[in-house]
Structure 1
């Protein structure tokens, strides 16, 4: 498969690219800065310089031509303000979805966030509230598209601990932590399982092997 990943230099994306390349898939990561390219090459992925905050749909669609799947794993990141939460976490996601439809790439997986399905409670930090609202709007925009076979993945608090390969994946999991390694592994499994299209799933650490967890939610979707 050829998979194009938005936010190709992100911590989850780099892990995903490494996993895909290791099994012989062709991964391409969209990056904003040319100096990030060597990090992608080190994972076995192809770096593609494309700024989703300024690119047009047809430009992004060209990078998606011939792909089997697209993964949106971009984010404004720590230290960014409310404006960039909107332009990246919402705007870039919508643009990437537009481009996937234009390029005829149906399989579309989004790395969202737990909590992106409800209004932030009173007292939430304004920037974090803007982040959650941007993720909610992006998820809603993707799920409204008939031209995409989408899956929305909402991980819990992200950790850099080594992955265990054991997760809790469900429509509702409750709040907890999850290793970025395990998020990447779940993304690979979701890409391999078309029956997960149309699902919005939460992900935290747990006791079920990744492939079994994905098989279980896929079976529920088709039951």
Structure 2
């Protein structure tokens, strides 16, 4: 299987790249900055230098030729402004879905955010006036992207992790439409995405996930 990861230089994306290649599949990391190519290659993948904010779906579709599944792991980043929450976290995810459909790529896994649908509509407007407003726009961007993906005929999975940690993976989680607030190692989020792709689990499911006591394959299989 050949899997393209938008936001290929992100921490979860690089962990996922390593897991994908270790499992015997091919990972393609989509990166905006050419200086990030080496990190993708060190993780075992190949890099595709693309700026999602400067490309239309026709051009992106052509670059995805031969890809079997796509993962959206991109984001404007913690220091980006409110505008980029919408142009990357929302519009980039939608662009990837448009391009995937054009190429007949049916499998799409979205890395979203816990409680994305609870954003404050009044705060989540441009221009953002403070840090809390920027965060609400981030949640709005994720929520609107997720809604767009759910409305498509893609074989989609939407993963909404809790607070992200840089600790070693546990391999056990709790998943559900909603789960209590909690945290999860980035490595476990990557493992959840890999299981969804390789085992074709959680098709048409949106779920929150934090660390728990159920092995990842069993947790996702239970979602149906």
Class of the TM-score when normalised by the shorter of the 2 chains: over 0.9
1:88-127 alignment runs, 5 A limit: 88-120=88-120, 125-127=132-134
SS of the equivalent of 1:140 reads helix
SS of the equivalent of 2:53 reads coil
* Correspondence for 2:19: 19
Instruction: Indicate if the aligned counterparts of 1:151 and 1:199 stay in contact, CA closer than 8 A.
Output: yes
* Correspondence for 2:213: 207
Instruction: Indicate if the aligned counterparts of 1:7 and 1:13 stay in contact, CA closer than 8 A.
Output: yes
* Correspondence for 1:145: 152
Q: Give the whole-Å Cα distance in 1 for the aligned partners of 2:64 and 2:122.
A: 40
1:47-126 alignment runs, 5 A limit: 47-120=47-120, 125-126=132-133
SS of the equivalent of 1:89 reads helix
After TM superposition, which residue ranges in structure 1, 4 or more long, deviate above 4 angstroms? 121-124
Distance 1:157 1:59, change over 3 A: same
SS of the equivalent of 1:58 reads helix
Instruction: Indicate if the aligned counterparts of 1:65 and 1:104 stay in contact, CA closer than 8 A.
Output: no
The alignment's C-alpha RMSD in Å is: 1.4
* Correspondence for 1:42: 42
1:173 maps onto 2:189 in alignment: no
Instruction: Indicate if the aligned counterparts of 2:201 and 2:220 stay in contact, CA closer than 8 A.
Output: no
* Correspondence for 1:221: none
SS of the equivalent of 1:125 reads helix
> May I ask how many residue pairs the two structures share in their alignment?
217
Q: Give the whole-Å Cα distance in 2 for the aligned partners of 1:138 and 1:16.
A: 21
Shift of 1:193: 3.2
SS of the equivalent of 1:74 reads coil
Q: Give the whole-Å Cα distance in 1 for the aligned partners of 2:16 and 2:217.
A: 15
TM-score (norm 1): 0.94
SS of the equivalent of 2:96 reads helix
Q: Give the whole-Å Cα distance in 2 for the aligned partners of 1:177 and 1:120.
A: 22
